[in-house]
Structure 1
Amino acid sequence: MRIIFGFVPFSVGDVAYFIVIILAIRWFWKNRKTWKENWKNNFLRILSALSLFYFFFHFLWAFNYYRESLSDKMQIKKEYSDADLLQFTNKLILKTNQIHSQINENDSLKVVYPYSKEATFSMNLNGYQNLSEQYAFFNYEKLSIKNSLFSLPLTYMGFGGYLNPFTNEAQVNGLMPIYNLPFTSCHEMAHQMGFASESECNFIGFLATTKNDDLYYKYSGYSYALRYCLGLLSSQNEELFKATLAKVNPGVLENYRESDDFWKQYETPIETGFKIFYDNFLKINQQRDGLESYSKFVDLMVNYYKTEEL
């Protein structure tokens, strides 16, 4: 799929989705007057279409929901203590602050990402190449990452990207703050390689960005992971969270505010409704934690870096 569609400059999958949506609206409009009379036949047609859609979804990609877990494959434990989380978070703060200071001499300035989307997509390969030298199963070939044509709807739904399972194109939200782009696109590339779990793809995205030779990539990965860890600390111990947060460079916090301000502009009931739907969709497809699985990559990070250098 990546060989066939990767060279096309626009999202083929998004175009296909748009055509399907138009045809569906057209069908409903044509049958609006006879809906009550033919409701049985119409219901069976809708059910048939949904069944066909779901079959091809599983056939073309989603059998990956049943693959061996990454924690088993890499022999990483998932359990950790509060002390483990705090220790790892402090390590992340030191690393994030260090990289932030290498990019900006003033620790109060946010990081301004200098690369275009197209350049970012190509530069992702560097991190995956470095990662595959250590773990061959992370080898990635045939780039196929696209700026989603549905970036605005994605923003209202609260998502930074998604994988199209029918064309295997990695889609990214072109409207979100661009310093998040390396991590988000590397996350979607992990899905392309057949990793279905959101926590696993977050973990792989973290590895691929932090093992990239470019400082801006490292910053994207470390700052993203740090934010998740701080969020967990906040839910466990508010006083400890505040004391830990005070150690983070003000410029890093400015990037967090930039991201928060962006997403707050688009908060609507649409996001809540879609996330309820997607939460249940994940649970049906072997991800018991639903949307909470996104944050479960902290389990993998904390235990992985007990034996590895950050």
Structure 2
Amino acid sequence: MKTIGLFPDFVENWYSKGFYPKVGFVSRKIFGNLPFSFGDVIYFILILLLFRWIWKHRIGFFKEWKANGLAILSWVSVFYFFFHLLWGMNYYRIPLHEKLQIEKEYSVAQLEAFVEKMIVKTNELQLQITKNDSVAVVIPYSDEEIYNLALEGYKKLPNDLKEFHYEVKSIKKSLFSYPLSYMGFGGYLNPFTNEAQVNYLKPKYTSPLTTCHEMAHQTGIGSESECNFIGFIAAAKNDDLYFQYSAYSFALRYGLRNLEKIEENSSNPFLAKINKGVLKNFEENDIFWNQYQTPINTFFEFFYDNFLKANQQKDGMEGYSKFVGLAIGYEDKGLGIRE
């Protein structure tokens, strides 16, 4: 699998645009209409079987280390093979910025201009929705309504992103939302059933963007930065104001965060320009994730960071924030993001 990954043109044309769309389509057809996450149920059963196997072999485990080690290695190998076959090869496709011929690096001045644009748009949407610049946005939809509305944004992707069109909905509330919260994840894609899993516990104003992000994985995107970018575009292009707000407030947070990475407190002048209602939503999000901040979260961030790097995603967890460069490059090329 790794050897094939050295040939991104082959992966792009044979796998990401050939084999994978057919597999993903069939998987979503089979599991999409189930009212629960089939993939989560399978994971739960596998975890139980793992614990049962460990318990059964607890006595003399290290004495039989060679046989036990081979058994573990064989199962990991099978898991890893099917992971790549059913979805994981998408990690090795041609990077989106190369296909769009845009720069993903940016100057401080470009980042500041981007943040200014995001502030204006986010403030406009917050005021349009609440009629009061000091009131936080509350999404009135159910989770299922959000999943259905998300499809509309993908229908309006710009022509140069049409290859990421979405067919056959398979989006579920994750049965593992509590563990996902402690792990620090807003959602994930099950590569074996192609179900998009959304953490339903987190603040609902973030759910439209998270849903669109996980849908981007279903269209065959492995890179987290590219999923953030496509998810952002899909939510921003949606006619629904709550989706637009979720998109622009998301981009604004990452823009401010990236300013802070460049220079501490450099985001302060911009914070003063943001409506109080928007800041209340940001605080709501921070309070939620802070309550689940434990060593478990740190461990899984470390694990996933190294997992991404091992699969040719050199930025690791930092890749999530790299979408800002794609958004700036996309707009600077004149392709346009804002309504």
Interval of TM-score (by shorter of Structure 1 and Structure 2): over 0.9
Q: Equivalent residues in 2 for 1:43-62 (5 A)?
A: 43-62=69-88
SS at match of 1:114: coil
CA shift, 1:133, in A, is 5.3
- Give TM-score, length-normalised by structure 1: 0.98
Alignment partner, residue 113 of structure 1: 139
Give the gaps of 5 or more residues in structure 1: none
1:240-279 equivalent positions in 2, closer than 5 A: 240-279=266-305
2:6 is matched with which residue? Answer: none
* TM-fit CA distance, 1:238: 3.9
Q: Determine the C-alpha separation between the residues in 1 that align with 2:186 and 2:233.
A: 18
Q: Who is 2:29 aligned against? A: 3
Q: Offset of 1:254 from its aligned partner?
A: 0.2
Match of 2:23 in 1: none
Corresponding residue to 1:173 among 190, 199, 207: 199
Please name the residue that 2:101 is paired with: 75
DSSP-derived class of the 1:131 partner: coil
The separation in 2 between residues aligned to 1:83 and 1:255, in whole angstroms, is: 27
Deviations 1:59-87 (A, max 9, x none): 11111111111111222211211101101
What is the 5 A alignment of 1:57-206? Answer: 57-131=83-157, 135-206=161-232
Whether the 8 Å CA contact 1:132–1:138 is kept in 2: the answer is no
Change (3 A) 1:309 1:285: closer
| Alpha-carbon distance, 1:106 to partner | 1.1
Distance 2:152 2:48 in 1: 39
Equivalent position amino acid for 1:260 in 2 = D
Equivalence for 2:54: 28
Asked if the contact 1:154–1:161 (Cα under 8 Å) also holds between the matched residues in 2, the reply is yes
Q: Is the 8 A contact 1:155 1:266 kept in 2?
A: yes
> Partners in 1 of 2:235 and 2:327 — Cα distance?
14
Is residue 100–residue 160 contact of structure 2 (8 Å, CA) maintained in 1?
Answer: no
What's 1:298 paired with? 324
Deviation, structure 1 residue 202: 0.2
Distance 1:132 1:19, change over 3 A: farther
Q: Which residue of structure 2 aligns with residue 208 of structure 1?
A: 234
Deviates more, 1:153-162 or 1:231-240: 231-240
Q: Which amino acid aligns with 1:158?
A: G
**Superposition CA RMSD, Å:** 1.1
Q: 1:15 maps to what in 2?
A: 41
239-248 vs 78-87, which deviates more? 239-248
1:34-75 CA-partner distances (Å, limit 9, x unpaired):
313322111110111111111111111111111111111222
Range with bigger deviation, 61-70 or 124-133: 124-133
TM-score normalised per structure 2: 0.89
Looking at structure 2, the residues matched to 208 and 60 of structure 1 have their Cα atoms a distance apart, in angstroms, of 24
Aligned residue type for 2:253: R
Do 2:153 and 2:235's aligned partners in 1 also have CA atoms closer than 8 Å?
A: yes
Q: Is the 1:132–1:139 contact (alpha carbons within 8 Å) kept by the matching residues of 2?
A: no
Alpha-carbon spacing, 1:14–1:309, altered in 2? closer, same or farther (3 Å): closer
Q: Which runs of 4 or more aligned residues in structure 1 lie more than 3 Å from their structure 2 counterparts after TM superposition?
A: 132-135, 237-240
Query: How far apart are residue 132 of structure 1 and its match?
Result: 5.5
CA deviations over 1:146-205 (Å, ceiling 9, x no partner): 000100000000100000000110001011001100000100000001100000000001
- Tell me the SS of whatever aligns to 1:90: helix
Partner of 2:7: none
SS at match of 1:201: helix
Distance 2:289 2:82 in 1: 33
Q: Unmatched 5+ residue regions in structure 2?
A: 1-26
The change in CA–CA distance for 1:36 and 1:66 in structure 2 (over 3 A counts) is closer
Identify if the C-alpha distance between structure 1 residues 32 and 131 changes in structure 2 by more than 3 Å, giving closer, same or farther. same
